[in-house]
Structures are given as C-alpha cells and as structure tokens.
Amino acid sequence: MEISKKSALVTGASRGIGKGIALGLAAEGYVVAVNYVRNLKAAEGVLKEIQQLGSEGLLIQGDVGSSNDRKKMVDETVAEFGKIDLLVNNAGIAPKIRVEILETTEESFDRVLGTNLKAPYFLTQDVSRRMIGWKQSGEVEVPRIVFVTSISAYAGSRNRTEYCISKAGASMAAMSFAMRLAEEGIPVFEVRPGLTQTDMVEKVQDKYDRFIKEGIVPQRRWGYPEDIAKVVRAIARGDLDFSTGEIIEVAGGFSLKEL
C-alpha cells in the first residue's frame, strides 16, 4: 500500500449513510477501512464498489461498542494504511423497540448509549491520540474527525428517548474533542442528518412519508446517504479547515421554525 494515499476509517460502512460516505471518500481518492458488525456480504459489496471507483478498501469486522474491537479496528487500519487521515464515527443503532420514557429498559439504554455515545467517544480518544503523533511526524498533514449525529440531538421523540439522549451526548462529545484538538490542528465536525432513507427507518417509512408530505421537512423530500456523503467529502478535501466544532445539519431545513 502506497503510504501517501489519504486514508479513512468509517464505522458502520456496510450499509446506509456509512456506505454512502465510504463510497464518497473513495471517489475523493481516499483508501477506506470499511467497518461492519455482522453483515459481511454487504461490506464485501461496498469493497467492490470502492475498487470500481479506482480506490482500495479494507474490511474490518468489529462492534464499536466493544473496546477490544475498537482497538482492533484502529490497529488493522494502521497496519494496512500506515495512518488514519480521517475518522468518521458513523455506526449507530435505534432501540429494538420504541417505547415511551416510562417504559425504557436499562438494557436498551445501555445498548443504545454504548453504541451511539460511548463508542465514538473512546474510538475518537484512541484515534486522536495517534493523530497527534502522525501530525507531529508529518505523516498526516491535517487529520480530521467527523461525528455523525442526528436531528434527534435536539428534536425529542417520546418513544425513543435513549436514542435522542445518545445523539445529544454525541453532539457534546464532538464539541469537546473539537475544543481539545483545535490546538493540535485537528478539525472536528458534527454532521447531523435528518430523515434519511436507509434500513434504519424502514419500519417507520410510512409514518415519515406522511410527515414529509405534511411539511416537517421544508424541502419536502427524504435525505439520501449521498446528501450526507457530500458534506463529509467537503470536510475530507479540507474545504472547511478553518472551522472546527461546527454542526452541519443535512436535513432539508428541518430546524427552520415558522410562525
């Protein structure tokens, strides 16, 4: 592997938004470590598409919620690519069952927060420590980090509060790393998708179709993984390098309020 090629580690890159980001980065000339947890077939499909785009990839099985797996992911990426120029914390899960706050179980709370908040926090801690070294040695010119959160960081849903809390926490994690890493020359961004057509929202597709029709998304359409990938590509190119800690919402104007 040619060491000078920029490399990215994208968690949860076998499907949905992560897949879109992985392919977008490959098109941008990055070599990409494609993390997945159980869907090898889907991950292999992503690898093939990366190769068709003229880039190279690496498949890494691992549960972001496990500290051993996180370490393995980083070690395997570095063993193959020599360094990580861009970390994209994308992997995320919804609660298995949507229930209101008076019914939330500790098991679901731990599962969702372990994957959506604790995992990106400690993965970023590990990678950013190494990035500081790569930056100092000149191996990486500008290391960059992205947290994929959600409009649920500020828009509550009564029947999946643990998800919303995990995303609100991930938003603060992004801001906290941005503060610490600014002096190291490592920009950190929060990319905040809105309703995006992926497997995650399959079960609520009809409900959200109705909401979109009624105008909850001012631009009146679903988001697609490519919409989020475009923003990550701009970050990866360095177009936003004199910014850090910024929240970039990709949600068709969801946050607009009209009286």
Active site residues: 163
Stretch that binds ligand NAP, among 102-110, 174-182, 198-206, 238-246 (CB under 6 A): 198-206
Determine the Cα–Cα distance for residues 74 and 237; give it in Å rounded to an integer: 22
- Specify the pairing of strand 246-250 against strand 31-36: unpaired
Among 24, 57, 65, 252, binds ligand NAP (CB under 6 A): 65
| 258 Ramachandran zone, left/alpha/beta (phi>0; psi -120 to 50) | beta
| Region 45-64 residues binding ligand NAP, contact defined as CB under 6 A | 63-64
Is position 155 an interface residue for ligand NAP (rule: CB under 6 A)?
A: no
Is position 92 an interface residue for ligand NAP (rule: CB under 6 A)?
A: yes
Cβ proximity to ligand NAP, 64 vs 140, nearer residue? 64
Contact partners, residue 213, CB within 8 Å, separation at least 6: 220
Is position 132 an interface residue for ligand NAP (rule: CB under 6 A)?
A: no
How far does the chain reach from its first CA to its final CA, in angstroms? 56
DSSP string, 145-164: EEEE--GGGTS--TT-HHHH
Question: Could you give the residue ranges of the DSSP H alpha helices within 183-237?
Answer: 205-214, 225-237
Question: Could you give the residue ranges of the DSSP H alpha helices within 92-204?
Answer: 106-113, 119-137, 161-182
Is position 196 an interface residue for ligand NAP (rule: CB under 6 A)?
A: yes
Contact map string, positions 3 to 32, toward ligand NAP, x by CB under 6 A:
--------xxxxxxxx--------------
Cβ proximity to ligand NAP, 68 vs 137, nearer residue? 68
Among 23, 24, 26, 36, binds ligand NAP (CB under 6 A): 36
Is position 161 an interface residue for ligand NAP (rule: CB under 6 A)?
A: no
DSSP state of 29: T
Residues of this chain that interact with ligand NAP (CB under 6 A) are 11-18, 35-39, 42, 63-65, 90-93, 115, 148, 150, 193, 195-196, 198-201
